[in-house]
Structure 1
Amino acid sequence: MHWYQLDGVEVPTDPAVTQLSTPFATVDAGRIEHNVGVMHEVLRGAGAVLAPHGKTTMAPSLWRRQLDAGAWAITVATPAQARVAAAHRVPRILHAGAVVVPADIRSLGALAVGGAEVIVWCDDPKSVELLASHYPSDAPALGVLVDRGTAGARTGARTVGTALRTAEAVRACDRLTLHGVAAWEGSLRTANGPATGDDVAAFCREVVETFTAIESAGLFEVPRPVISAGGSQFPDVVAASFAGLRERALVVLRSGCYLTHDDGMYHRSSPFDADRRTPGLLPAVHVWGSVVSRPEPGLVLVNVGKRDIGSDEPPRATQLRRDGRVTEFPGDGIARPLNDQHAHLQVIEDADVRLGDLVRFGISHPCLTFDKWRTLQVIDDCGAPVPAVIGGIQTWF
């Protein structure tokens, strides 16, 4: 049975996407398999393992596909997401951040009692104190990674000293077990804007320094401690920066968006697309709508809006379909503006765009499109004249 048949979503009697009510979102099964293969080769070459960020899709069937491909864990961002992962029998859950609410801390203990291995982050001795105070005494020990940050970024101990004190606090608690060091390079910023690969490499050296200091102090409590970073933009830089530790540490990347990729920010920033020695990732998720109005000669309205597709940058219409014929969208396809339920698209005045035409949009940043849908249709080939629906996936936001 395929991953896209696990959620019990029924395939329509007529599986052609042209029979679906618009708007709808699709995932291309073949492209998912391609992207899984690309990441497998990247990890093999880097000597690393993957704990992909589950918040990208919040789709347990896709998590299962990632685990079946060898993922070491599924990463989550909130205790609620951790509970979803445990309910769907994810065996190891990495909570990328501190947990400070007593009820949430107790719930982690319940997940551990239920059989899930849970690992959380801490960046300060006080967060360790909160964990130790509220984590159930009868639950299996809770794994902890020391979160290393840097000035102006997101969470994380700002100095090696703070990281060491945090590690010492974990080691002093019999309910907690120190598993390693984690970081997130995606929040780095410079005076000129987003960080570059050089900035990320410099930050990773600080993370390695932190790991080495804790290791030298004899504080790790597992035979092969974890060192983890690597979102979807700089996994190559992170893997290269941590390569010197591979013999004594488990290098864990957390890239999540590789699975579906996109036509926007990750297409522009992915090292796999830029490195011609590595097969590029393919955008596997799209949102589709119908032309519902041509009120002016140069204006087309499609029934796709902010409630259907991520809008942190304007989505772009890429294809037009009619009667089994596929053409490029006649114009730049950029939705300006994007309303709640409509995309405004500019075209040349005599463009052959008709009411009822099916329009395919590329997305940017998968996290902010998946959360718009409870069900996404799985199709065989998003480039086919009439793609066929072969299954479905459900999300758990």
Structure 2
Amino acid sequence: MDDRELHEHLIGQQGSRAALNTPVLVLDLDRLERNIAAMQAKAMEKGVALRPHAKTHKSVDIAKRQVAAGAVGICCAKIGEAEVMVDAGIAGVLITSPVAAPAAIARLGQLAGRAEGLMATVDHPQVARAIDAALADSKAMLDVIVDIDPGIRRTGVASAEAAVELARAIADCGHLRLRGVQFYCGVQQHIEDFAARREAIEERTDYLRTVVDALSEAGFPPEIVTGSGTGTHAIDLKLGVFTELQAGSYVFMDTQYLDCDLDGSGEAPFETSLAVDSRVVSANHSALVTIDSGFKSLSTDGGSPRVSSGAAPETVFAFMGDEHGALVGPDIGTSLRPGDLVSLVVPHCDPTVNLYDNYHVVRDGTLVGIWPVSARGRAR
């Protein structure tokens, strides 16, 4: 049975979160909406646009709420995600990873013909020319952003000189229009200490300024400077170089970001809205119980999940295989019994979300909706 067959009858029933089949991805609607409003307010206060990253939530329902709150559009990591969002009526989509494979470039050409405000990143003249050729058939124009490598050598031009070279190549393309640059410091997002993160971002921002200056001197002043993330949003807003932010995980707040002092206050500026609800399936040892969430229910790249309710906060989680996890703590095998509910804060929200078909949206413990993870699996 799928999620709707299992749970649709519970919508609107008071306290129905407790009746959900587990493991299940749960989204607290009130917290989500407060997070969306809080980040939008921070950006607006500084006169900076917000184009949140939908690779985090992969949800048309959440993207529409972000745009309704004032976002200028959304970011997508892959063209498959962008197709889902565009076909759902979301305007202002920026594809943040280079689209370089021939089949993907052909799809990009088709998407540009039907997408309002679509933008794509490029980091190589050859790719720019290939995209331009694909657009010739549809006679569409596409706004493009030069991706700048922040030092991790994943994507992006490697120098200011390369950025200028690429800008000149784009200028020679009849169907491309250069709008600006992208600079995403992914490594720095999760530096836990605020002062250390600020120092690292200030150094990288100095480099970004040299690239912007080189492009401006060559006759290509960037209209858009896009990047940043949940981990560095407060620092980037203060530095004032970005014209728009791409933060994404703020809507959920996973353990990786909860470990970070995001704004120097020592307090989390956003609430934890996402959880995986699980149940105890075995309790035959005094210091250990087994729950029904394992590798297939939780991402493993961000450490371990943490207990948010149902057991003591200091309870230790350990993966026990594909289907199971262990909760370890003094006398936990006597305080928890089979069938008891335990809610977990996820370790890395993006890949955890991608494991599920739907969000189970709750308000005050009551299931109020089932939203599809619209772009689940759209990695190509």
Same fold (TM over 0.5): yes
Task: Please list every run of 5 or more consecutive structure 2 residues that lacks an aligned counterpart in the other structure.
Answer: 1-6
Aligned length: 361
Deviations 1:332-385 (A, max 9, x none): 32321342111111121364111211111111221022111111111113xxxx
Tell me if structure 1 keeps the 8 A contact 2:281–2:290: yes
Cα deviation, residue 165, structure 1: 0.3
What percentage of residue pairs aligned between the two structures are identical? 23
Residues 232, 331 of structure 1: alpha-carbon distance in 2 compared, 3 angstrom cutoff: closer
Which residue of 1 is the match for residue 330 of structure 2? 348
Deviations 1:268-312 (A, max 9, x none): 22524x437x87210001111111111222110111112112222
Instruction: Tell me if 1:81 matches 2:81.
Output: yes
Cα deviation, residue 216, structure 1: 2.6
Instruction: Tell me if 1:269 matches 2:267.
Output: no
Matched AA of 1:371: N
Residues 102, 136 of structure 1: alpha-carbon distance in 2 compared, 3 angstrom cutoff: farther
Deviations 1:216-264 (A, max 9, x none): 32235xxx710011012111222233x2x5xxxx7010000111122x1
Tell me if structure 2 keeps the 8 A contact 1:75–1:94: yes
TM-score (structure 2 length as normaliser): 0.88
Tell me if structure 2 keeps the 8 A contact 1:314–1:338: no
Which residue of 1 is the match for residue 140 of structure 2? 140
Which residue of 2 is the match for residue 339 of structure 1? 321
TM-score (structure 1 length as normaliser): 0.85
- Structure 1 counterpart SS, 2:231: coil
Q: Aligned ranges for residues 1-397 of structure 1 at < 5 Å? A: 10=8, 12=10, 14-15=13-14, 16-187=16-187, 196-219=197-220, 225-241=223-239, 243=240, 251-262=243-254, 264-269=255-260, 271-272=262-263, 274-275=264-265, 280-312=269-301, 313-320=303-310, 329-330=311-312, 332-349=314-331, 351-381=334-364, 387-396=365-374, 397=376
Q: C-alpha separation between the residues in 2 aligned to 1:390 and 1:365?
A: 25
Moved more, 227-236 or 97-106: 97-106
Runs of 4+ in 1 over 6 A off after TM superposition: none
Q: C-alpha separation between the residues in 2 aligned to 1:331 and 1:206?
A: 42
Tell me if structure 2 keeps the 8 A contact 1:331–1:348: no
Tell me if structure 1 keeps the 8 A contact 2:230–2:250: yes
Tell me if structure 2 keeps the 8 A contact 1:22–1:288: yes
- Structure 2 counterpart SS, 1:214: helix
Cα deviation, residue 101, structure 1: 1.7
- Structure 2 counterpart SS, 1:97: coil
Task: Please list every run of 5 or more consecutive structure 1 residues that lacks an aligned counterpart in the other structure.
Answer: 1-8, 321-328, 382-386
Tell me if structure 2 keeps the 8 A contact 1:112–1:139: no
